[in-house]
Amino acid sequence: MENAGQSALLHIIVNILFLIIAWWAMQSFHIDKFIRKGKVMQARVLFILLTVALASLASDFFLQYLNYSTNLQFLFS
């Protein structure tokens, strides 16, 4: 049970870390050029959703890679 708790904590930390990195990276994108007048709120929501999607993809890739690399020990035992 302790291992499941550690895994959950690792997943939470990695997801938050990649969310921060994705938000930081998305700040370089000038979305202002694509916003219609009066649609600022929709553009902000889209920006947040794109950031969450990017962070989710990156963190899933990282966590799967970590899982696969730790499971390689069972190939040789």
Would you place residue 20 in the very low, low, confident or very high pLDDT band (cuts 50, 70, 90)? very high
Q: How far apart are CA 57 and CA 17, in angstroms?
A: 13
pTM recorded for the entire structure: 0.83
The values of phi and psi at residue 56, to 5°, are -65, -45
Question: What share of residues in the chain are helix, strand, coil (percent, to 5)?
Answer: 85, 0, 15
Would you place residue 24 in the very low, low, confident or very high pLDDT band (cuts 50, 70, 90)? very high
Q: Which amino acid is at 73?
A: Q
Q: How far apart are CA 66 and CA 61, in angstroms?
A: 9
Domain positions in the chain are: 2-74
Q: Classify residue 76 by its DSSP letter.
A: -
- What is the per-residue pLDDT for 2? 65
